[in-house]
With several copies, the nearest count.
Chain A
């Protein structure tokens, strides 16, 4: 089923959930406020699900993140495919034991006897002055956790396709949604997209910008700007952060000889470090310039607008790094 039209990522995710629950009666949804009497999620992402699929399959829970993730794990082991929502990414910290010591490890520790086919949807991102405890990107914690897959779409089509694939995946997937992206309409095609495959968002020959989520937009803007001066940046949208698509990234950097990795998460010890390390190791001697990284500043996300803007990578800071790279 392929069709094209413009919708927002919020709508795309809502639709993916509807389609997944329709396609498979084993798919469940749970989390704070996710059912319709509670308005289908703070942002309305899960709107309509409980009305359509019933209160047994779509459950608004108390504020109990450990029990939310625990319930999802148990239901998954019991044969279901729960989609749990952790309202904001910082709150995964409350459920960290369930996610990392249990969801990610039960398959391995049981020698493959049990599996945890669940999705944890969560949203995040700076830009709304929500400060230090409501804005973090924490994908690095989970990329460093074997057994857990990590996905972060940058547009409605990917959000739909990756979420459908994540729900069908037989392993736990952390699915990161950017709040700014929720509201940006874009062309849309409703097709499943395999996990683990990056997307070349733009082809180019002079440098490769590797990124994900909201930062793809900034990278595209930078690439467009650079093109005006005759520099062609290739932009790779990772889509899946773990396991990440080494082949696509390495092939691109091999071609361009220059790599810039961008994420909103704090730069230090962020996922860019792993990608940079692999590029450096695999393409040693073939690079025209050192691999660069642009990430969030080394601090909590600050509240006031000027500091919040200075914290996160922007088209400006990315552009500056890109120019240095090709200089």
Chain B
């Protein structure tokens, strides 16, 4: 990993901007849920912010993302606008999916957020197809499939990895290994200690990195994305991380080893990067505070606008089933 490219100062700052946005947005969603105003099956990506933020540094708007229920962090990093995201969470007609999809199906093609799925593993086969489309288009786009450690044990993983490798498709398989699948630990899910080993089984390049470390994550992602753009095929990246809010909001995490969660939170990657920016003189405390209050303003505007908007009308049940509205 020593030969990985490293992010420059501007890039680190940009990673932080994204990670801070994800974190603040996540906290705002949870606040809204705890207040009872927002009732939604929300899967927090808190703790995993660095992964998609560092990844996004090497992605363009027209690169494709297929993510999962635990995916708002991926989407925010990819550029999903917060206003239509909030409106969708609030189920309003102004939401990106007109209130029909919700958090598990957030979609925003303009920012490349093509598919969000609630079915474990199912982001991968679809990303293979987007990779095929990208290859046919010949414009150097890539497709990213994000998924969890648990998803690495489902059949769709296997078929997708093999097919993408076979056809040298520009797909990044990004396993965000937060060590748990719902309440099941990685140790109870497989005998192996690194899911990236599985890349070998398909003749694919596979690496495991500390997803919470912006240098490593940026480097691994950049190398993989560059390879994919150059037509050199897919890569599997296993990014080690932790989910700070358990599986669903309200999860007490009693199934974890004692102290495991607290320990992980000690290493919260977002404040860590913030401190580093200051320590390395990349940004001052004031500059960062300014950035953060700017982000908060955007979020607050999105929240307010979301609740202001209307719910969709019942006629929407007949729309978007097919291209033509049904009778």
A–B direct contact (CB < 8 Å): yes
Knowing A67-B159, A113-B96, A298-B326, the reply to whether A98 touches B125 (Cβ < 8 A) is yes
Of the listed stretches A36-44, A212-220, A232-240, name the one at the interface; the rest are far from the partner chain.
A36-44
Q: Which residues of B contact A108 (CB under 8 A)?
A: 100, 320-321
Of the listed stretches A11-19, A123-131, A201-209, name the one at the interface; the rest are far from the partner chain.
A123-131
Q: Which residues of B contact A307 (CB under 8 A)?
A: 91, 99-100, 311-312, 314, 316-317
Please determine whether B320 and A98 come into contact, CB atoms closer than 8 angstroms: no
Of the listed stretches A72-80, A278-286, A318-326, name the one at the interface; the rest are far from the partner chain.
A72-80
**Quick check: is A255 within 8 A (CB to CB) of the other chain?**
no
Q: 8 closest A-B pairs (Cβ-Cβ)?
A: A74-B129, A70-B125, A304-B91, A78-B133, A303-B102, A111-B98, A111-B97, A67-B159
**Quick check: is A112 within 8 A (CB to CB) of the other chain?**
yes
**Least Cβ–Cβ distance between A96 and chain B, in angstroms:** 11
Q: Which residues of B contact A305 (CB under 8 A)?
A: 39, 91, 311
**Least Cβ–Cβ distance between B323 and chain A, in angstroms:** 4
A107 vs B98: C-alpha distance when bound (angstroms): 12
Q: Which residues of A contact B133 (CB under 8 A)?
A: 74-75, 77-80
Among B98, B125, B132, point to the contact of A66 (Cβ < 8 A): B125
Among A39, A75, A149, A170, point to the contact of B130 (Cβ < 8 A): A75
Q: Which residues of B contact A297 (CB under 8 A)?
A: 317-318
Q: Which residues of B contact A230 (CB under 8 A)?
A: none
Among A70, A72, A304, point to the contact of B312 (Cβ < 8 A): A304
Q: Which residues of B contact A101 (CB under 8 A)?
A: 117, 119, 122
Knowing A33-B183, A110-B97, A303-B101, the reply to whether A74 touches B154 (Cβ < 8 A) is no
Knowing A71-B129, A73-B129, A109-B100, the reply to whether A64 touches B322 (Cβ < 8 A) is no
Knowing A67-B163, A311-B317, the reply to whether A111 touches B154 (Cβ < 8 A) is no
Of the listed stretches B12-20, B46-54, B106-114, B227-235, name the one at the interface; the rest are far from the partner chain.
B106-114
Contacts of B141-198 to chain A: CB distance below 8 A: 143, 150-151, 153-156, 159-160, 162-163, 166-167, 181-184, 188-190
**Quick check: is A146 within 8 A (CB to CB) of the other chain?**
yes
Please determine whether A114 and B159 come into contact, CB atoms closer than 8 angstroms: no
Contacts of A102-160 to chain B: CB distance below 8 A: 102, 106-115, 128-134, 146-147, 149
Please determine whether A77 and B102 come into contact, CB atoms closer than 8 angstroms: no
Question: Nearest A residue to B125 by beta-carbon distance?
Answer: A70
